[in-house]
Amino acid sequence: MSLQRFILRRLLLVIPILFGVSVITFGLVHLSPSDPISLIHGANPDMTQDELDRIIARYGFDQPVYIQYIDWITSVMVGDFGEEFATGRPAADLIWRRLPPTIALGIFGWVFAIVIAVPTGVYAAVRKDKLGDHVSRVIALSGISIPNFWLGLLLILFGALIIGLWPVVAPRSPLYSPDMLWYLILPGITIGTASSAIMMRIMRSAMAEEMNKDYVTTARAKGLPERTVVLKHVLRNSLISVVTVAAFLTAGILAGSVVVEVVFNWPGLGRELVDAVIAREVNIILVITLFTGVALVLANLLADIAYAMLDPRIRY
Amino acid sequence: MATERGRIQISGFDSTRVEEREPISGWVEDTGTETVGRYQRAFARFRRNRIALLGVATVITMALVALFSYPTQVFGITIQPFHLAPFSPTETGFLNPDMGGRYERISWTHPMGTDRDARDIFSRWLIGGRYSVSIGFIVVGITSVVGIIYGSISGYYGGWIDELMMRILDVIFAFPGLVLALVIVAMLGGGYWQLVLAFSLFGWAGYARLIRGEILKVKENEYVLAAKALGARDRKVIFRHIVPNAITPVIVQASLAVGTVVIGVAALGFLGIGFDPGTPEWGTMLDATLDTLITGPEGSIPWWATFFPGAGIFMFVMAMNLVGDGLNDALNAQEDVAVTPGGGG
């Protein structure tokens, strides 16, 4: 299959998956044993039956679930995600307001993960089964095992309260100001640690596998210095494996943002989702969950295409 | 070890490479020793791995401590009378003046200090493993079985069945597990069985994809064809002949997933939606909706209230991952030998 046909096929495959994503999102929110109207009534006990009836008619709560789904998906198609119950503001606005901080945090996490993982992975593969490899393995296992909310609390405890290098709460400055970027270092480390540990292990095994290939023996036989063999020949071929896990790690960072944004009180999508869950803002939960799903489907798509372009042997 | 002469390496004559063989190969050593099954060999290798054994010991100790820390009652009948914890997990110093006030420092009475409600953190820490750890094992049990069944059907039948079943998995993989669990708990409310459901409902997808890949390889073997030729039913071919030969990566995955679920449960507890506030669960003890860290009385920093609950999660998950890593080494050792003959510089 040529590259163009592969990409086309992969793009077409996205359509049924996006449909499934919307079904799961909608289905989950309707998993609730209590119907939305009694929730609204519970939150505002002095509403009259007449007012409740009007809400039922307005949101179509009396319709069967599949009709409600069709109503919802058709309005989503034209960009109408419903409104926040408490304020009446459109739910979609919230995404655009809360997305930039989450992206900034995600980029910090990504950069931290790559900066730590690639050199350590290379080092561990070169020193395979020696002390350095074992030490890096234990560190990677700790990185996977440490709960990110606890790591975040410990970083605040040491970085902000004991050493005092960072402010305890996020400064009230624009997102791209220097003190904001400085503040982002701690949450970035928190969100990137687990991804970094996983990426490091994948890097190590990919490197170790490449080191056994014939072209490495050839390069050595030519008399190339070991440093050139590792950094120019092996590393380039191993970096492909980082691309394959990129989408998977994006999922990790998105899930991490839910917890880390709460720890650092960071005004992103993750914290908004938690707030919406506590306040039972169904439309907000819907729009953030749907957004997460669509973002990950697209990340997977990009990773697959990038992988196919980098490695001509791969065609599905 | 390969014999080295200058830069040229001679490999392939290593006696270590043929010490362990698959029993089906029919290879018999000259001395006539019996070949042993793969799980016996894996077990023997696992037993030599001290770090993995340390992990097993830690997991068992923490589980036993959680079990015996405080008496268990089922329908009012005490089925577990032991009481290791010095205080009741809900007992507070506000009602019992002997216990001291809130945020007491570490002392002999309170080895981990007291929390903001003047409760003994040590007692709560001991019992804290009950929730997340047992949920972790239950969820992994449910999800691995469902995943194995789903993945085997998909991989064995192939064709459009496989295509359809895999596209359903793609949809599930479009969401991070924690986000799904968060939304499910949001809709069902917190609580023990709600959390089990939240992590089980979609948690099987990873196992399904993993075992499907293995089954695609295993089903090409001649013994599968032989079993079919002898008239064995599909169900029997799948679950007696194919799955046992494809299951080792699932075992490793399952052992590592316990830790993931434990962290997930604790994270929902931390977000304040997993359990009722005040539940002695490691994550809930760090509850973000109440201020744990920053506000101590008179500007003090009660680090112990933050440190110990998280350390409990970390210790358990680390131990579980050491076990999983050891299982991985023990079960894959055969392949490792095949993959790294000779070795690089």
Give yes or no for a contact between A259 and B270, defined as CB atoms under 8 angstroms apart.
yes
Distance from CA of A197 to the nearest CA of B (A): 13
Is B345 in Cβ contact with A24 (below 8 Å)? no
Cα(A254)–Cα(A260) distance, rounded to whole angstroms? 10
Give the chain B residue whose CA is nearest to the CA of A169.
B294
What is the rounded average pLDDT of the residues B198-219? 91
> Taking CB atoms and an 8 Å cutoff, what residues of chain B touch A146?
314, 317
Chain-wide mean pLDDT for chain B?
A: 79
Please state the three-class secondary structure of chain A as a single string.
CCHHHHHHHHHHHHHHHHHHHHHHHHHHHCCCCCCHHHHHHHHCCCCCHHHHHHHHHHHCCCCCHHHHHHHHHHHHHCCCCCECCCCCCEHHHHHHHHHHHHHHHHHHHHHHHHHHHHHHHHHHHHCCCCHHHHHHHHHHHHHHHCCHHHHHHHHHHHHHHHCCCCCCCCCCCCCCCHHHHHHCHHHHHHHHHHHHHHHHHHHHHHHHHHCCCHHHHHHHHCCCCHHHHHHHHHHHHHHHHHHHHHHHHHHHHHHHHHHHHHHCCCCCHHHHHHHHHHHCCHHHHHHHHHHHHHHHHHHHHHHHHHHHHHCCCCCC
Distance from CA of B73 to the nearest CA of A (A): 29
Cα(A313)–Cα(A304) distance, rounded to whole angstroms? 13
Q: What is the ipTM of this complex?
A: 0.86
Q: Which domains can be identified in chain B, with CATH numbers?
A: 35-88+118-334 (1.10.3720.10)
Handedness of CA A198, A202, A203, A204 (dihedral sign): positive
* pLDDT tens by residue, chain A, 316 residues: 678 888 888 889 899 999 999 999 888 887 776 666 666 666 667 777 777 777 777 766 777 778 888 888 888 888 788 777 777 788 888 888 888 889 999 989 988 998 999 899 999 988 888 888 888 988 999 999 999 999 998 888 888 777 777 777 777 777 777 888 888 899 999 999 988 998 898 888 888 888 888 888 898 898 888 888 888 888 888 888 887 777 777 888 888 889 999 888 888 899 999 988 888 888 888 899 999 999 899 988 888 888 888 877 765 5
CB-based contact, A298 to chain B, within 8 Å = no
Burial label for B88, CB within 10 Å (0-12, 13-18, 19+), is middle
Kindly tell me if the per-residue pLDDT of B236 is higher than 60: yes
Give yes or no for a contact between B252 and B82, defined as CB atoms under 8 angstroms apart.
no
CB-based contact, B184 to chain A, within 8 Å = yes
Confidence of residue B335 (pLDDT cuts 50, 70, 90): very low
Handedness of CA A16, A21, A25, A31 (dihedral sign): positive
> What's the confidence (pLDDT) of residue B189?
82
At residue A143, what is the residue type? G
Length of chain A: 316
Interface of A with B in 86-115 (CB under 8 A): none
Confidence of residue B317 (pLDDT cuts 50, 70, 90): very high
> Taking CB atoms and an 8 Å cutoff, what residues of chain B touch A251?
173, 175-176
> What's the confidence (pLDDT) of residue B36?
74
The whole-model pTM stands at: 0.84
Give the chain B residue whose CA is nearest to the CA of A139.
B318
Is A209 in Cβ contact with B174 (below 8 Å)? no
> Taking CB atoms and an 8 Å cutoff, what residues of chain A touch B183?
28-29, 277, 285, 289
Kindly tell me if the per-residue pLDDT of B331 is higher than 70: yes
Is A144 in Cβ contact with B293 (below 8 Å)? no
> What's the confidence (pLDDT) of residue B201?
92
